[in-house]
Amino acid sequence: MGTSAASGAKGGSGRRGRRGRRHGAIAEINMTPFIDVMLVLLIIFMVAAPLIATGVPLDLPQTGAKPINVDQKPLTIAIDSKGQIFLQDEPTLEPDLVAKLQGLAKQGFDERVYVRGDKQVDYGRVASVMSTITAAGFKRVALVTEPSSR
């Protein structure tokens, strides 16, 4: 007697339950379109990132020196072909250069400063900027060049 009542209740409620599920709303999130969109965005950013990171366009001289290993973003000074000075990609006048460098230097005068000079700029202009930086007390000033394509 107990088995027939249980099986009858199970059979009757099972049918109603299936019908109700077929017409009811699905409460699941379909992750496939989300993942597809994220992969497309990842590819776009991977392609676009090198184009954004260039900063001031310069034609650097080429040398046989090996690339430097940099853990943090160093202070960079760029001198374009017209002789204009850029500190961290922002135009700067030479008299204001030392004050702005000291404001950006986290390690004080031991901060590494890279000077990038365009191939077409006068050597005296690059030497003048480097002299201004070293006279202010910065000890780690270096020139940046492109590796030669040999």
Confidence grade of residue 68 (pLDDT, cut at 50, 70, 90)? low
Give me the CATH code for the 62-147 domain, please.
3.30.420.270
Span 41-50, mean pLDDT? 86
Spans of all domains in the chain: 2-52, 62-147
Is pLDDT above 60 for 86?
A: yes
Is pLDDT above 60 for 6?
A: no
Alpha helices in the chain (DSSP H): 2-23, 32-52, 94-104, 123-135
The burial of 85, by beta-carbon neighbours within 10 Å (0-12 exposed, 13-18 middle, 19 or more buried), is given as buried
